[in-house]
Chain A
């Protein structure tokens, strides 16, 4: 079997096998997410669990399907900036919760 220049066939076959394993893992985690939602857990616990599973699934897609694990350094640097700004975006609602009027102003007539 031939191959496009610049690719190692053995490495490619191994990558494809890993992707298929990840695919099965993603399906299993999807079923777990749905099953957990029917457990009637307290809202904070249910949200935390669902987001943790989504984070695991997301990491699997980014690292293996998008082969970020084997990417060049420049991509990591670009994405680390994105991650910092993304965290800041997610922090905005929390900061907003703290932005309340704490002092009462006495109005004199």
Chain B
């Protein structure tokens, strides 16, 4: 049985001007915006409805969170450089920058682990207060997205990179859409950081 070739994986569709993956990832990102939007809305609702709301900086570790912001922003630039290296047909540099992005993701998770451990050590669990519940929900969901992004980037760095030899345009497209997801993870943190830690 001969396989049916999926159209528009490398060349753009004439009607949309986009390859399938590009349109697909933007629709997925739109759904992600609504997912986090619902939780941000819940945060506002809980905050305005509470008699007392703690200042984030009195409970949470601002220097560690600032470091995490710098780490995630750095991972975004390495992601851009990884994609640009592929466009320049420099696979080795792509891999190098991808390692950089993965390293930043790992550092982010280690710092988050340190933060969570410190909270648990002081008996601050999600059940402690409404603030802690929404803090763990928002940062936990974001952390899961970081792990998901790292899994995709790892796949594209090792087993998935075989495609570079046979279909370089398609592989470059895959890295580009993975990058779009990674930038969304950065974008969400840009809002989480001031909302939870500084207000």
Residue of B with least CB distance to A23: B77
Give per-residue flags for B30-53: 1 if the beta carbon is below 8 A from chain A beta carbons, else 0.
Answer: 100110011011001100110000
Quick one: which of B76, B87, B199 contacts A12, CB cutoff 8 A? B87
Q: Does B152 contact A (CB under 8 A)?
A: no
Identify which of B102-110, B124-132, B154-162, B184-192 touches chain A: B184-192
Cα(A96)–Cα(B41), bound, Å: 11
B187 and A61 form a contact (CB under 8 A) = yes
Interface size class of B (residues with CB under 8 A): 35 or more
Give per-residue flags for B61-96: 1 if the beta carbon is below 8 A from chain A beta carbons, else 0.
Answer: 010001001100110110111001011111000000
Identify which of B1-9, B16-24, B111-119, B138-146 touches chain A: B16-24
Q: Does B194 contact A (CB under 8 A)?
A: yes
Q: Which of A1-38 contact B (CB under 8 A)?
A: 1-7, 9, 12, 15-16, 19-20, 23, 26-27, 30, 33-34, 37
A72 and B41 form a contact (CB under 8 A) = no
The smallest C-beta distance from B153 to any residue of chain A, in angstroms, reads: 15
Residue of B with least CB distance to A82: B30
Interface size class of A (residues with CB under 8 A): 35 or more
The smallest C-beta distance from B38 to any residue of chain A, in angstroms, reads: 6
Cα(A50)–Cα(B78), bound, Å: 26
Cα(A56)–Cα(B68), bound, Å: 19
Q: Does B169 contact A (CB under 8 A)?
A: yes
B198 and A27 form a contact (CB under 8 A) = no
Quick one: which of B23, B172, B190 contacts A61, CB cutoff 8 A? B190
Chain A residues positioned under 8 Å from B30 (CB to CB): 78-79, 81-82
Quick one: which of B18, B41, B79, B180 contacts A74, CB cutoff 8 A? B18
Q: Which of A54-109 contact B (CB under 8 A)?
A: 54, 57-58, 61-62, 65-66, 71-72, 74-75, 78-79, 81-82, 85-86, 89-90, 92-93, 96-97
Q: Lowest 9 CB-CB distances: which A-B pairs, in order?
A: A50-B194, A37-B198, A82-B30, A2-B89, A93-B45, A93-B44, A23-B77, A89-B41, A89-B37
> Known contacts A50-B194, A72-B18; can you find 11 more A-B pairs with CB under 8 A?
A3-B89, A30-B66, A30-B70, A37-B194, A47-B199, A54-B190, A66-B180, A82-B33, A86-B37, A90-B40, A96-B49
Interchain residue pairs with CB less than 8 A apart (27): A1-B89, A3-B87, A3-B88, A4-B86, A4-B169, A7-B87, A12-B87, A16-B84, A19-B77, A23-B76, A30-B193, A33-B194, A46-B199, A50-B194, A50-B199, A61-B76, A61-B187, A62-B183, A72-B16, A74-B18, A75-B18, A75-B22, A75-B23, A81-B30, A89-B41, A90-B37, A96-B49
